Structure 1
């Protein structure tokens, strides 16, 4: 049993509440009447309502919500619970052992799509606290950890509105979840109510967009739950085949956090971010009202939704994007690892040569996806992508790099292939990603000027990352290469991204259930060693909110640069009471997760 219907624990919702020990508190400027006063260290806080609090809704209130959402309110039970005799949840104990379900969960734990289809699973488990992973010992303890308490499996816009209104009125922590495909723990949250939007699966194509923006070309409208592989498959079946900007990973949703973070991918060289191709949104804001956002209707909200921060301005129910004719494409793979050399000096010289051509690659329209240090001395480029290029044309762009590699005497493994469309390349040359692992994730980007003026220091920073037991995933593209400069400011992404040539993800492995001291040490390593090395070597770079350290220093500047002041003003306009929350997004300066990262509170 992976999740329980609301009625399963309806009686347990009538929790004994330690009301006498609690003090209601009001917060100036916020409408919510049900804040809970807490202290943590020397600071006082006004917190949202959680199980056991005086303000936690009673059974009748939850039953009314369940009726309003068509019986789609569920008590959340962690995915690994079928492997345990008992799930000891905050709303009561449930007998959960089921051998067949346990085997199913265990065998599919690292499968992304399996995790995506679950009500509240986070694809990467660090922020769940890893308290209920699959086990072969059923007598072990399974608790909720930082998974949400309740989830609405929304089927209609009205269900989403009801969930937002309930969370706002009762001052509950609210989480919006489609695929759980995020690195920063935004899809989970201790004691929270989740609205799951994955059921919104409509896809509609048009040859001629008749909306705003002055655009009259082809477009696609997708529901909140649609994933990249779904829309790309249907687009490819058209005559002629179409394509749209999506992330590198095929399982990412395309109408929620991706576009609100910007949304980069293999087509970014040509069309910019996914946010740059957005034409219109249907969005429910914190007041529970469904709005249209476009260049003509609610243009300020439209701008903010295009890269201004995930889970910050509203719940996107539907999004419309430009589509483009697909093109014949070519790809090249490259590997250099310990089977080619055990000489560290030679290996890092090869990395220097490869990365030194980053500006050359993007100036020639290439997209490059690579991993560095996954097994220590390992450069894994899978693939170089030449959209609209033949294998011979792509090889000509890459030949200077290969000549330089040959010149230092290093061996390598490489292969190339041509495809009728980029979609065919996408399905063949990009590797499948896995879920279910635990790590802290950070990242930084490298500006063109950094490569041109400070490249030796960048390679030294790469050595620092790998030497710290971490590894990197690189994405070479230029969001300002094919998009006219007059279009750049129409989305809210950091202006510095228009001059980036390599966007990096950094990974520091650590268990979600590790001792607190180990977690603190891992966070210190990520912020002050790994990412600090990259920041210092690439001062003209910036950070990407969807793939970054959630505790990035000076995050307002790092994530949004000169756009932050305007985004903060819009956050106060559209969500003045903090109904939505995602760490380090506009307007969250005074919010903290206190008591070991559990309660979400305002610092008084």
Structure 2
């Protein structure tokens, strides 16, 4: 964590008793008490709630107030050690996060207390308590945030994991929108639900599709608020663009409905403005779509025998993408690595296995016709009825090696993670950067500079092109919906999001075993930086995806939201004028020190 500004906080302490007595006047005068104090209180400081006040909160939330302790206080005997291989178990522990930290940035530390919310009234009580007592407030559902936005020591946590009810609608019309919007199929999801819960209800049992994330343990609400891309976003757009309505607890403790006609600016801000900045979302309603006949995937790894051959392979892959894959059917990744290696793993929708094989045949034939390439993982395409993509019982029977179930006793049978995602549980980030790549780079006259940039990027840490995280090539209706969100406008014209990253094993504070090698982490972060520098030669003004980006991004307002930031800032001033909600590089966070405890100026 960055060093705390304790001196400024300490300077306000003698004024606390006076300010607390005059809180009502301040709320109607120059500003609220939080603004006047310019700091939030920590345990042991004057103003920290007394035991009796915590007991009152506990009564208000039906006993669901938890005093959190460091999860590894018992050393090798700590129960949390046994959980780290299971992301569902990690997510079920309010003292843990799915990311253990980021080198030289932050490390996962539990809040002082957590409200294990089971309903909206619990959230209201927590928000009011934090506001009245000037506490640092944190909100956590899935807990996947790479930048630690759901984590802060000395805080009160609103933990929404147990708010996970889901309801399907055949003909949903948002509140106040009768006569203005046609009824449509939708799903309402409480804030603590994970995407596996949503897919299980909507697709496996409901026979429809909801646009969500690829990792099954990610929280629905957090993903939607940050934009939200899944494997098939090139067809159905972002999760945020399909939000129809939200229920939100704002900083004043009011429960508000937000949709296109009721609190429209709050609604717009929730669609990609970043989680945890505007309020606590308690429920979201998302449109659903008809399922295609098939969902599927393919994989192929190719190694070139020289740099010259690798450059030619990159050129062919880029042009093949433009010719055959730059359309709503295809998503996911091509990865350009050192060692002259191209690793392709893509998903498709609306195509059969045979059609997918026919699509790829020209590229595979091109590789086979040349002696300077070795296929280290043969081409394979698989397809299944779309309703079974997240059907745990179907996958256990026909593709058991691609999933890992929650193996705890009495765990829901439908809970699984993709085998390739399991090692993210507790991972420690060394470096992570992203950049939107404009579709203009795919034009024949621009491909050579792009190929050169990808080749150079591969010489450092390597880079993945996530084609589903750029909406160029998507249907016009998907692009129109995404245009009416707070997500960076560059996503509309991007053919892919480039990501370079490096991470290591879990490194929670107090965890027994080897501590993270910070010297090595800094070397890896430098390699990521060089990788992205190579790509910025062809995309010098590229923005970043807020959920997958550099913790240390300097011009983050422009990088995350571009021309949308002033409108987001206005929504923040309207619904949270005193900055109760703070997350790292979130809307309005520039007014606070790095830890969110002391207001600047």
Q: Do these two structures clear the TM 0.5 threshold for a shared fold by scoring above it?
A: yes
Q: CA shift at 1:494, angstroms?
A: 1.6
Structure 1 Cα separation of the partners of residues 450 and 113 of structure 2 = 45
Q: CA shift at 1:554, angstroms?
A: 2.0
Trace 1:51-90 onto structure 2 (pairs within 5 A).
51-84=43-76
| Match in the other structure for 1:263 | 228
Q: Is residue 354 from structure 1 mapped to residue 317 from structure 2 by the alignment?
A: yes
Q: Is residue 125 from structure 1 mapped to residue 126 from structure 2 by the alignment?
A: no
Q: CA shift at 1:398, angstroms?
A: 2.5
Q: Is residue 174 from structure 1 mapped to residue 137 from structure 2 by the alignment?
A: yes
| Match in the other structure for 1:163 | 126
Match of 2:353 among 378, 384, 391: 391
Q: 543-552 or 530-539: which moved more?
A: 530-539
Q: CA shift at 1:203, angstroms?
A: 0.7
| Match in the other structure for 1:87 | none
Structure 1 Cα separation of the partners of residues 460 and 110 of structure 2 = 30
In structure 2, the CA distance between the partners of 1:573 and 1:486, relative to structure 1 (3 Å rule), is: same
Structure 2 Cα separation of the partners of residues 286 and 376 of structure 1 = 52
**What secondary structure is seen at the aligned counterpart in 1 of 2:224?**
helix
Match of 1:244 among 210, 214, 220: 210
Trace 1:282-297 onto structure 2 (pairs within 5 A).
282-297=247-262
**What secondary structure is seen at the aligned counterpart in 2 of 1:226?**
coil
Q: Is residue 482 from structure 1 mapped to residue 475 from structure 2 by the alignment?
A: yes
Count the aligned residue pairs.
539
8 Å CA contact retained: 1:387, 1:422: no
In structure 2, the gaps of 5 or more residues are 1-8, 20-25, 403-417, 508-514
Q: Tell me the alpha carbon deviations over residues 577-600 of structure 1, each in whole angstroms, 9 at most, x when there is no partner.
A: 11111222222223222xxxx563
Structure 2 Cα separation of the partners of residues 449 and 373 of structure 1 = 20
Match of 1:441 among 432, 449, 459: 432
**What secondary structure is seen at the aligned counterpart in 2 of 1:600?**
coil
Q: CA shift at 1:265, angstroms?
A: 0.9
8 Å CA contact retained: 1:286, 1:314: yes
Q: CA shift at 1:401, angstroms?
A: 2.7
Q: CA shift at 1:486, angstroms?
A: 4.2
Structure 1 Cα separation of the partners of residues 127 and 500 of structure 2 = 34
Q: Is residue 227 from structure 1 mapped to residue 194 from structure 2 by the alignment?
A: yes
**What secondary structure is seen at the aligned counterpart in 2 of 1:198?**
coil
Q: CA shift at 1:169, angstroms?
A: 1.8
Q: CA shift at 1:343, angstroms?
A: 3.8
**What secondary structure is seen at the aligned counterpart in 2 of 1:566?**
helix
8 Å CA contact retained: 1:367, 1:476: yes
Match of 2:374 among 407, 411, 429: 411
Structure 2 Cα separation of the partners of residues 31 and 518 of structure 1 = 46
**What secondary structure is seen at the aligned counterpart in 2 of 1:602?**
coil
**What secondary structure is seen at the aligned counterpart in 1 of 2:150?**
coil
**What secondary structure is seen at the aligned counterpart in 1 of 2:532?**
helix
Q: Is residue 310 from structure 1 mapped to residue 297 from structure 2 by the alignment?
A: no
In structure 2, the CA distance between the partners of 1:68 and 1:237, relative to structure 1 (3 Å rule), is: same
Structure 1 Cα separation of the partners of residues 66 and 127 of structure 2 = 16
**What secondary structure is seen at the aligned counterpart in 2 of 1:537?**
coil
Q: Tell me the alpha carbon deviations over residues 287-330 of structure 1, each in whole angstroms, 9 at most, x when there is no partner.
A: 11110011121111111111122111111101111111212225
Q: CA shift at 1:530, angstroms?
A: 3.7
8 Å CA contact retained: 1:461, 1:533: yes
Q: CA shift at 1:267, angstroms?
A: 2.5
Q: CA shift at 1:266, angstroms?
A: 2.0
Structure 2 Cα separation of the partners of residues 124 and 504 of structure 1 = 21
Q: Could you state the TM-score of these two structures normalised by the residue count of structure 2?
A: 0.81
Q: CA shift at 1:551, angstroms?
A: 2.5
Q: 468-477 or 223-232: which moved more?
A: 468-477
Structure 2 Cα separation of the partners of residues 564 and 603 of structure 1 = 20
8 Å CA contact retained: 1:447, 1:540: no
| Match in the other structure for 1:148 | 111
8 Å CA contact retained: 1:362, 1:478: no
Q: Tell me the alpha carbon deviations over residues 455-508 of structure 1, each in whole angstroms, 9 at most, x when there is no partner.
A: 444444445544444654634454251242543432221221111111133213
8 Å CA contact retained: 1:175, 1:189: yes
Q: Tell me the alpha carbon deviations over residues 328-385 of structure 1, each in whole angstroms, 9 at most, x when there is no partner.
A: 2253423325xx5554543454344324434445533233323636786543333x22
Structure 2 Cα separation of the partners of residues 458 and 29 of structure 1 = 54
**What secondary structure is seen at the aligned counterpart in 1 of 2:389?**
helix
RMSD value, Cα: 3.2
**What secondary structure is seen at the aligned counterpart in 1 of 2:181?**
coil
Structure 2 Cα separation of the partners of residues 510 and 360 of structure 1 = 37
Structure 1 Cα separation of the partners of residues 102 and 46 of structure 2 = 27
Structure 2 Cα separation of the partners of residues 69 and 378 of structure 1 = 55
Q: 414-423 or 272-281: which moved more?
A: 414-423
Structure 2 Cα separation of the partners of residues 564 and 151 of structure 1 = 31
Structure 1 Cα separation of the partners of residues 427 and 337 of structure 2 = 14
Structure 2 Cα separation of the partners of residues 195 and 477 of structure 1 = 30
Structure 2 Cα separation of the partners of residues 592 and 549 of structure 1 = 18
**What secondary structure is seen at the aligned counterpart in 1 of 2:228?**
coil
**What secondary structure is seen at the aligned counterpart in 2 of 1:81?**
coil
| Match in the other structure for 1:498 | 492
| Match in the other structure for 1:543 | 544
Q: Tell me the alpha carbon deviations over residues 517-549 of structure 1, each in whole angstroms, 9 at most, x when there is no partner.
A: 7776766665x5343333332246421111111
8 Å CA contact retained: 1:358, 1:502: no
Structure 1 Cα separation of the partners of residues 517 and 351 of structure 2 = 51
In structure 2, the CA distance between the partners of 1:363 and 1:552, relative to structure 1 (3 Å rule), is: same
In structure 2, the CA distance between the partners of 1:50 and 1:353, relative to structure 1 (3 Å rule), is: farther
Match of 1:115 among 77, 80, 90: 90
Q: Tell me the alpha carbon deviations over residues 243-265 of structure 1, each in whole angstroms, 9 at most, x when there is no partner.
A: 110111111121x2211111111
Trace 1:190-205 onto structure 2 (pairs within 5 A).
190-205=153-168
Q: Tell me the alpha carbon deviations over residues 137-179 of structure 1, each in whole angstroms, 9 at most, x when there is no partner.
A: xxxxxxx963322211111211111111111122211110001
Q: Is residue 601 from structure 1 mapped to residue 594 from structure 2 by the alignment?
A: no
Structure 1 Cα separation of the partners of residues 68 and 236 of structure 2 = 40
**What secondary structure is seen at the aligned counterpart in 1 of 2:231?**
coil
Q: Tell me the alpha carbon deviations over residues 542-590 of structure 1, each in whole angstroms, 9 at most, x when there is no partner.
A: 2111111132232222211221111111111111111111222222223
Structure 1 Cα separation of the partners of residues 63 and 151 of structure 2 = 22
8 Å CA contact retained: 1:330, 1:388: yes
